[in-house]
Structure 1
Amino acid sequence: MDKLIITDLSKTYQNGVKALQNVSLQIPTGMFGLLGPNGAGKSTLMRIIATLQEADCGSIQLGSLNILAQPNEVRKVLGYLPQQFGVYPALSPEMLLNHLAVLKGIINKNERKEIIHALLNKVNLYEVRKQKLGGFSGGMKQRFGIAQALLNNPKLLIVDEPTAGLDPVERNRFYNLLSEVGENTIVILSTHIVDDVKELCPRMAIINKGKVVIQGNPLQIMESLEGRLYEKTIQKNELEQYKTEYQVISDRLYLGNQIIHVLSDAHPGSTFKLIEANLEDVYMSQIFNA
């Protein structure tokens, strides 16, 4: 099966911001999570892969296709759900998908109808196919977005911050849909929500300040913190003091007290408890160290 191979990709904007710095990734078929804070360079990378923006240097290969040199060929096998996308509120999903299918070159009317109805069933919108998109919830619009991205049966599907604003039920529906698609397609899930990656992706990378800071299997990445992560409950007014003395990678409130997670190669003291790391700890440690 085809792989997406990104090699030494860089992009600097005119204002001097280095959005990407020598990014290299190998992404096979299946779900791949791209995790990073807002402004890390994720959306720039997604737009370049989706042929919407040019890189300064580097290469991207999808099977035999050179993405940077053959954008029109790439678009034939690409599905893209950007972070923000518009719909025509007065149209039904059936009508808008029909219009988009024509633009994607699906000329045969019967074939088009069959594909559209199959996709609407897949994203659980068939029953509301005649209703206006303007009345859809956020989750329903996201599912429509996935349907339009799958119209041409893509080899590569890019979804950028897809679950932002979705309630837990809609998010779970979305997880199930993406994992099903990922069985036969390269799916890149770009997000700052750690749970999205933890639930869905057997492979991932964390990007920060335009650089890939860690990549691999989430479970193996979590093992990188084994024996180095400690927890302690403190008073809220002690937080700043602990931040000056220890490498505090995260803090949260629980029942009015502050719980801190500290990264340390040596045991920081008897009042600290050694704990197992989760993916959020890895994420916070990488962002903290940047």
Structure 2
Amino acid sequence: MQLIIEHLSKKYPNGVLALDDVSLTIPNGMYGLLGQNGAGKSTLMRTLATLQDADSGTAMLDNLDILNQKDAVRRVLGYLPQEFGVYPKVSATDLLDHFAILKGVTNSRERSELVTALLHRVNLYDVRKKAVSSYSGGMKQRFGIAQALIGNPKLIIVDEPTAGLDPGERNRFYNLLSEIGENVIVILSTHIVQDVMELCNNMAIIHKGKVLYSGSPLDSVAALKGKIWEKSITKSELPTYQQQYNIISNKLVAGKPLVHIFSETEPGNEFQPAQPDLEDVFFSTIEKSNFVAA
């Protein structure tokens, strides 16, 4: 199973070019789509989920034309949007049953067995009779995965799934996604680099509608070895360092900015070599793109 996207573009009526000639090849497994808010991730996800049209380009799920065979695609699609509403006072069992009917599972016994199996799989069986509207954020996300799994989908799209979850819920969600991603295509759209590093064998970085990088997270980190340098400075020094160096990120450590810079050679001035991570890849890739655009 492969998802092949070629030259996909989308411009909104307000003039925003949300997708700019996007081409990607996405294999089976977990695939991370990494980008800042407004980068075009959600536009791409909604297009692949058949919720909106592209202006040009193609997207093929094996022999299925996503842009032109929407009904057929929806039969093999599972989708967990960034935000989804639920009916008030409706239990998890009843709501999943309703979704299963919409997916075409008409046999009541088969539907009951399916709902029970899904609730066990996402560890919500013990609270199956409670209203989904009363669930915590993490429980709602696990319920969202359960509804996305109805019909044994070949393509699952999850948009910003761990935003707002506490560490325990995030770990449970990681484990669930990893299990699901063993046999189908799972596209994880997020701005959280840790999600991609921990879950995905392949990824893309998207910025201002353009794909800036596609490949392995581990390979992208390895390519930065010896090129990331760090130094702890005072807050008052930060503007000067921003003028003198290619700072890709800074964060407060013990109340002082710890700056990371990109440099092919040793920058001197007491900068120390830093072990690169995916956050460095993300910020340096975007910084390079902004510099080229300027």
Question: Distance between the aligned counterparts of 1:223 and 1:255, measured in 2?
Answer: 28
Q: Given the alignment of the two structures, is residue 101 of structure 1 paired with residue 100 of structure 2, yes or no? A: yes
* Residue identity (%): 60
Q: Tell me the number of residue pairs that the alignment of Structure 1 and Structure 2 aligns.
A: 289
- The Cα of 1:221 is off from its aligned counterpart by 0.5
- The Cα of 1:152 is off from its aligned counterpart by 1.0
Amino acid at match of 2:6: T
- The equivalent of 1:7 in structure 2 is 6
Question: Distance between the aligned counterparts of 1:288 and 1:240, measured in 2?
Answer: 17
- The Cα of 1:270 is off from its aligned counterpart by 4.6
- The equivalent of 1:260 in structure 2 is 259
Question: Distance between the aligned counterparts of 2:96 and 2:146, measured in 1?
Answer: 8
Report the aligned-residue RMSD.
Answer: 0.8
Amino acid at match of 1:40: A
SS in 2 for 1:131: coil
- The equivalent of 1:213 in structure 2 is 212
Question: Distance between the aligned counterparts of 2:189 and 2:255, measured in 1?
Answer: 34
SS in 2 for 1:190: strand
SS in 2 for 1:206: strand
- The Cα of 1:256 is off from its aligned counterpart by 1.9
SS in 2 for 1:91: coil
Amino acid at match of 2:277: N
Amino acid at match of 1:73: A
- The Cα of 1:108 is off from its aligned counterpart by 0.6
Question: Distance between the aligned counterparts of 1:138 and 1:220, measured in 2?
Answer: 33
Q: How does 1:38-53 map to 2 (within 5 A)?
A: 38-53=37-52
Which range moves more in the overlay, 223-232 or 199-208? 223-232
Question: Distance between the aligned counterparts of 1:286 and 1:88, measured in 2?
Answer: 42
Q: Given the alignment of the two structures, is residue 244 of structure 1 paired with residue 243 of structure 2, yes or no? A: yes
- The equivalent of 1:36 in structure 2 is 35
Q: How does 1:1-150 map to 2 (within 5 A)?
A: 2-150=1-149
Q: Deviations over 1:58-94 (max 9, x none)?
A: 0000011011110000000000000010011210000
Q: Deviations over 1:127-156 (max 9, x none)?
A: 111111121111111111000000111000
Q: Given the alignment of the two structures, is residue 272 of structure 1 paired with residue 271 of structure 2, yes or no? A: yes
Question: Distance between the aligned counterparts of 2:255 and 2:39, measured in 1?
Answer: 32
Question: Distance between the aligned counterparts of 1:264 and 1:240, measured in 2?
Answer: 18
- The Cα of 1:266 is off from its aligned counterpart by 2.0
Question: Distance between the aligned counterparts of 1:159 and 1:39, measured in 2?
Answer: 16
SS in 1 for 2:21: strand
SS in 1 for 2:177: helix
SS in 1 for 2:188: strand
- The equivalent of 1:186 in structure 2 is 185
SS in 2 for 1:276: coil
Query: Normalization by structure 2: what TM-score?
Result: 0.97
SS in 1 for 2:220: helix
Question: Distance between the aligned counterparts of 2:82 and 2:254, measured in 1?
Answer: 35
Query: Normalization by structure 1: what TM-score?
Result: 0.98
Q: Deviations over 1:80-133 (max 9, x none)?
A: 000010011210000001011001100011110111100000000001111111
Amino acid at match of 1:186: I
Amino acid at match of 1:222: V
Amino acid at match of 1:166: L
